[in-house]
Structure 1
Amino acid sequence: MKLSRQLPLNALRVFEATARHMSFTKAGDELGMTQTAVSYQIKLLEDFIGVALFVRKPRQVTLTESGQKLAPRVAEAFGALRNAVADAKQIKSDTLFIHTTPTFAARWLSRHIGAFQLENPGIAVRLETSQEFVNFSQTDVDLAIRAGAGVWPGLDSHLLMRGGFSPMLSPALAETIGGVKTPADLLKLRLIDAGDPWWQQWFHQAGVSDPPLQNRTGSRLGAQTFEAAAAIAGQGVAILTPEFYTDEVALGRLMQPFDITSHDGANYWLVYPENRKNAPKIKAFREWIFKLMPSVDQQGQKPISGA
């Protein structure tokens, strides 16, 4: 019996898209199918398995218990197929597709990636940045550097850098109020993105209870790197990860007035699918980055040398 007769691959692909979007219409838009065709494929799969996978409601579908169990395994299987095809297409001049946050890209990776390419001339680098977590099963991304707790199902994760945040500003701005001598002095200045929850947490740790942040006018610039640029220009006080801005402090462009660094549990991690840890280009990048940034063992995460 042919594989296509044994396993309805097209219906599984339709199911994966529908479960991800929780919508027959959106799944159809992604796959170039009508809603009716999507519904037909789902019915074929349900008949094949012998159980209902979706509860159909007016303008809404939800997964049944069987559907909830099946969906992640089907997504993982299609991700493995995508990775297998990508590995099969590897040629001598390969491309490493990296996804990371704008701040990590601007403040660390862009300054060092040239060294990786010199050490690995057969590997080209493609870099994409966003604040969103990339879905490895839906993209061609090989590895990512992301901020978080470090536990993501199906991914190997290795700690790169501990997160943390503290107010930083230009020395010239500090002088406009005769210097910043106490944490409360910062409230005399404009706070860049005063709505950022980091501010409330930091002031609490610094001993300033109930700082008046709610009614402050503030801009939301979307990434630390932009907020740091505004702080360097003297436009206000930014709350930043100090480790990214050691050069600016050394040059006198920024200052960290208080040795108080708060943490919200998010650190920077190198992540990639478990089933691709031995891909040559991923191994090359992994080994290279930890020459420059030795791993920090945390919560059972083993050092990269043991991976």
Structure 2
Amino acid sequence: MPKIPSKLPPMSAIRVFEAAARHQSFTRAAEELGMTQAAVSYQIKMLEDRVGAPLFIRMPRQVSLTAKGQQLAPAVTRAFEALRAAFDGIEEAVQSVISLTTLTTFASNWLIPRLGRFQQLFPNIAVQVSISQQVFELVQSEFDIGIRSGSGEWPGLEAHLLFPNKFTPVCSPELIKGHTLREPLDLLKFPIISPNDPWWRDWFAAAGIHDVDLSRRLDNSLGVQQFEGMAAMAGQGFALINPSFFPADLAAGRLVQPFDLLAATDSGYWLVYPKSRKRSAKIQAFRDWVLSEIAGDAEKASASAQRKTGASAPVA
């Protein structure tokens, strides 16, 4: 007949015994475990009652292991060392990889071109990027960080605004070559990419035009800004884009913005992560790096605007 395994004593009592045996002191064990000395004494007494023999010799200012205690202590210490090593290995693996779920355009047009700078600053943290339009429940998922578009209010998540959701029409310079665009309605002379996107109605409304009807246009929707911006660069029509995603293309003239007007929604792009993990070193590192990149973009945009208007920097 197989032997029935004996039931282990409470793990809390075993943990207290390991610390007390290692320190040969109830006081130091209490300090290590964040307990009172009375609580340590109680746990040891409970374990001794379970074992059926004293494990420590109590003296006025110190304790020492009995023969039974000396027999038990090495095995318990080895078991806890194995547990500590296992958890240390897991923690090291967890802290060496940061997983991110992000939107397509943010990943391709903003994040990926910059990731090399993060890797130079933090060569021991690998970045795993998952691109999806699906919103994952971060609190219950294995993702560390998410990039979301919205209002910034998500239960259980810390949220940091990266930039507002602003948009403006752009096109290839070849598309309007030989044409003069004097007013927003002139855009209707050209093909419109994703004409049924409500952003078009919002942009024309911001320009003071409230009766534009694009419903009869061919609805060649491409789904994400990255693809619509690429289609615009290829001369396929006007696309609505957030300039924050296409600064190099605008600066190089691959895209042109015929009107300065930027319309906006109530939403923005946010970096989010579970509040329960806000003290994670890798999350803090990635968050601070992203926010520093955003701040650098804002400084460059401000300097560029000053150059265009001929404004000079204020004198300190």
> Are positions 1:252 and 2:253 aligned together?
yes
Q: Which residue of 2 aligns with 1:289?
A: 290
Residues of 1 paired with 2:200 and 2:88: CA distance?
45
Which amino acid in structure 2 is aligned with residue 115 of structure 1? R
User: After superposition, where does 1:89-168 map in structure 2 within 5 Å?
Assistant: 89-91=90-92, 94-168=96-170
- Is the Cα–Cα contact under 8 Å of residues 139 and 156 in structure 2 kept in the other structure? no
Structure 2, unaligned runs of 5 or more: 1-6, 8-86, 297-316
Alpha-carbon distance change, 131 to 286 in structure 1, aligned in 2, over 3 angstroms: same
1:243 paired to 2:244: yes
CA contact (8 A) 2:170 2:255 kept: yes
Letter in 1 for 2:153: V
Q: Is the 2:139–2:157 contact (alpha carbons within 8 Å) kept by the matching residues of 1?
A: no
Tell me how far apart the structure 2 counterparts of residues 292 and 251 of structure 1 sit (CA, whole Å): 21
How big is each residue's C-alpha offset from its partner over 1:62-102, in whole Å with a ceiling of 9 and x where there is no partner?
xxxxxxxxxxxxxxxxxxxxxxxx99823257210011111
Alpha-carbon distance, 1:167 to partner: 0.6
Task: Give the percent of matched residue pairs that are identical in Structure 1 and Structure 2.
Answer: 42
**Preserved contact between residue 87 and residue 279 of structure 1 (Cα < 8 Å):** no
Alignment of 1:193-272 (within 5 A): 193-272=194-273
Q: Secondary structure at the match of 1:173?
A: coil
Amino acid at match of 2:130: E
- Runs (4+) off by over 6 Å: none
CA distance in 1, matches of 2:244, 2:181: 21
Q: Partner of 2:186 in structure 1? A: 185
Asked whether the 8 Å contact 1:180–1:257 carries over to 2, the reply is yes
Rounded to whole Å, the distance in 2 between the matches of 1:126 and 1:244 is 21
Contact residue 224 and residue 240 of structure 1 kept, 8 A: yes
Give the partner amino acid of 1:251: A
Give the 3-state SS of the residue equivalent to 1:294 in structure 2: helix
Deviation at 1:291?
Answer: 2.0
Counterpart of 2:289 in structure 1: which amino acid?
A: W
Report the CA distance between 1:209 and its aligned residue.
Answer: 2.5
Q: Give the counterpart letter for 2:199 in structure 1.
A: W
DSSP 3-state at the match of 2:91: coil
Quote the Cα distance in structure 2 between the aligned partners of 1:252 and 1:112.
Answer: 21
Give the secondary-structure state (helix, strand or coil) at the position aligned to 2:165.
Answer: coil
| Structure 1 length-normalised TM | 0.65
1:218 Cα deviation after fit: 2.1
Structure 1 stretches lacking a partner, 5+ long: 3-85, 296-307
Q: Is the 8 A contact 1:242 1:256 kept in 2?
A: no
Question: Deviation of residue 292 (structure 1)?
Answer: 1.6
Deviation at 1:250, TM superposition (A): 1.4
Spell out, residue by residue over 1:195-251, the C-alpha distance to the aligned partner (whole angstroms, 9 max, x if none). 100000101111222112011102111110000000000001000001221211111
Kept in 2: contact 1:146–1:271 (CA 8 A): yes
CA–CA distance in structure 2, aligned partners of residues 243 and 121 of structure 1:
27
**Greater C-alpha Rg:** 2
